[in-house]
Structure 1
């Protein structure tokens, strides 16, 4: 069962916003913020956050300030839409907006959380969210869909957080891929972005020897078999796109980055955090893909260049992931 928490509010309508709208660009940021819980004990939190001595209101507000400082950084460029993974729920998003982001024009938001989950996914926007849905089924995490209205046409966002690589989560990741793929196909005539922490590299098919990956690089000889069985088909060139395939910047030979991945486990970089585009973002009309970057800002890096992971014991750090940013341009 999925608990659906969907709220579309215009906050602080009397407050001024000093961010100038850029009608020629639309920026989407996706960020796994690593277990951002509020200070209210509800019983569903991870055990380490249920000890009031370790996790206090002061610590919580400090994390909100740290996160909002990054989100409102000039170097990020004030994204039009922000997708967050690993926030506890509705209260965290409301606090983030009321204390920090609302004054910069972020007024619309949606949150989805599983009934037995400790964390949720959220979409925050500076533009009206005109509709929303939650997709999923028992056993998998919910996929949050939100349609954002712009002058150049609607943009349909899907926010997700797939099961981690800890344990045997391959079937759950595949089930989630099937759910988001099926839902996205119903909006094939719109600009569609699949955003979040997929917990799987787009090239995983080349390194796995068993099981079916949730994401499949279509240059692999067996890619068609996996795609027909439910995997999301990915390509690195707009020339290869079709309504059933998604452009993945990581697979684009022309794409470059100063960092090898968005997260690092045991000394190995991974590209789990992704924003995937459908073919409507390459048809020469409305919104078009322009760029994709991993935002490894100095404030988000540890001394060795890896993400400066949040540490509950020391109350230091930010997140064990870097945010990723996609920019669309208006034709």
Structure 2
């Protein structure tokens, strides 16, 4: 009970009184962006920030505002367009979202935001949206970051979105995967409360959707349903995933990355250790393909020029040189009206 109260105290949901010059959200598309923005801190000394982001000659109001401008440049890039909902990872606090809307995104119709992080943590999960949420909640995860939930009521039915940021791969794999597994367990339980609705899980899962193929000795957070251990693992917390649209069910999630009929502009959304990874993911339930309401349209790894280095990998943020954007690329899910 105490952990839930702590999470709720760390959660903020506010309405931003920004002026508008944007068109209303489309009724033919519902677009969701997930983006790990890499340590976007504000310019205030709060005590929770990473030590290198305490106000200094290099990190100050000017450099903070520069990062906000850069994020706005990415989110409003023509290759992305206007989204209904943006889920951000590695945001310091709600003030960052408020400043982003007040000074930039509010002019594009992003009026609402929400934020959640564990008490004492340096970073959390944030959401900005052009549609007003019907309901917002936070789900505590033992030993990991909380999950942000938002429900949107649309003319084509409710859309339930869970925004997350799983434990990183830093440390012993068995220990970090156990934390990612606990996150999957919380997501599965929370999703059951929205039976009969379209549900989207999105964010930085910090694991590839096919990682289970090489993790035979550890129960994975995500398990392909073709695996012999799938049902056993799904019964104890793993999320069952597939790229086969006909096999998506109430407890089997669709992964666009596993769907061979999909093609992507980049071989991954994150580049680390000399290899591309698909850590930034969308998972959807069976209502993506029921022929009613919102249906799956596309999933895209986006690569605006500002987000790339000359070698085509993500242009990560560098605090020392005050250059770059993020070590992740944004990923966009588009739902279409049927």
Normalization by structure 2: what TM-score?
Answer: 0.94
- The match for 1:150 is 154
Q: CA deviation at 1:53?
A: 2.3
For 2:20 and 2:306, locate their aligned partners in 1 and report how far apart those are by CA, in whole Å: 28
- The match for 1:237 is 244
Whether the 8 Å contact between 1:48 and 1:54 is mirrored in structure 2 is no
Q: CA deviation at 1:48?
A: 1.1
Note the alpha carbon deviations across 1:45-69, whole angstroms, 9 max, x for none: 1111125123111000000000001
Note the alpha carbon deviations across 1:24-77, whole angstroms, 9 max, x for none: 101000000000000001111111112512311100000000000111112101
Within 5 Å, which residues of 2 pair with 1:54-133?
A: 54-133=58-137
Instruction: Give the 3 Å change call, closer, same or farther, for CA 225–138 of structure 1 in structure 2.
Output: closer
For 2:319 and 2:144, locate their aligned partners in 1 and report how far apart those are by CA, in whole Å: 27
Is 2:273 aligned against 1:274? no
Q: CA deviation at 1:21?
A: 3.2
Structure 1 runs not aligned, ≥5 long: none
For 1:94 and 1:52, locate their aligned partners in 2 and report how far apart those are by CA, in whole Å: 23
For 2:55 and 2:10, locate their aligned partners in 1 and report how far apart those are by CA, in whole Å: 27
Q: CA deviation at 1:17?
A: 2.2
For 2:180 and 2:34, locate their aligned partners in 1 and report how far apart those are by CA, in whole Å: 18
**More deviation, 86-95/132-141:** 132-141
Q: CA deviation at 1:219?
A: 1.9
Q: CA deviation at 1:209?
A: 3.6
For 1:209 and 1:220, locate their aligned partners in 2 and report how far apart those are by CA, in whole Å: 10
For 2:55 and 2:193, locate their aligned partners in 1 and report how far apart those are by CA, in whole Å: 44
For 2:14 and 2:153, locate their aligned partners in 1 and report how far apart those are by CA, in whole Å: 13
1:206 to 194, 213, 218: 213
Instruction: Give the 3 Å change call, closer, same or farther, for CA 16–42 of structure 1 in structure 2.
Output: closer
For 1:130 and 1:26, locate their aligned partners in 2 and report how far apart those are by CA, in whole Å: 16
Q: CA deviation at 1:299?
A: 1.6
Q: CA deviation at 1:281?
A: 1.5
Whether the 8 Å contact between 2:144 and 2:183 is mirrored in structure 1 is yes
**More deviation, 187-196/59-68:** 187-196
Within 5 Å, which residues of 2 pair with 1:164-313?
A: 164-168=168-172, 169-313=176-320
**More deviation, 204-213/260-269:** 204-213
Secondary structure at 1:183 match in 2: helix
Instruction: Give the 3 Å change call, closer, same or farther, for CA 138–298 of structure 1 in structure 2.
Output: same
Normalization by structure 1: what TM-score?
Answer: 0.96
For 1:75 and 1:204, locate their aligned partners in 2 and report how far apart those are by CA, in whole Å: 29
**More deviation, 50-59/287-296:** 50-59
For 1:249 and 1:51, locate their aligned partners in 2 and report how far apart those are by CA, in whole Å: 41
Whether the 8 Å contact between 2:41 and 2:53 is mirrored in structure 1 is yes
- The match for 1:31 is 35
1:5 to 11, 29, 34: 11
Secondary structure at 2:324 match in 1: coil
1:42 to 21, 43, 46: 46
For 2:326 and 2:14, locate their aligned partners in 1 and report how far apart those are by CA, in whole Å: 27
For 2:281 and 2:52, locate their aligned partners in 1 and report how far apart those are by CA, in whole Å: 29
Note the alpha carbon deviations across 1:257-290, whole angstroms, 9 max, x for none: 1211110101111100001111112111111111
For 1:247 and 1:112, locate their aligned partners in 2 and report how far apart those are by CA, in whole Å: 26
For 2:37 and 2:25, locate their aligned partners in 1 and report how far apart those are by CA, in whole Å: 26
For 1:147 and 1:20, locate their aligned partners in 2 and report how far apart those are by CA, in whole Å: 18
Whether the 8 Å contact between 1:4 and 1:134 is mirrored in structure 2 is no
- For the aligned residue pairs, the C-alpha RMSD in angstroms reads 1.2
Instruction: Give the 3 Å change call, closer, same or farther, for CA 110–51 of structure 1 in structure 2.
Output: closer
For 1:158 and 1:21, locate their aligned partners in 2 and report how far apart those are by CA, in whole Å: 20
Structure 2 runs not aligned, ≥5 long: none
Q: How many residues align?
A: 329
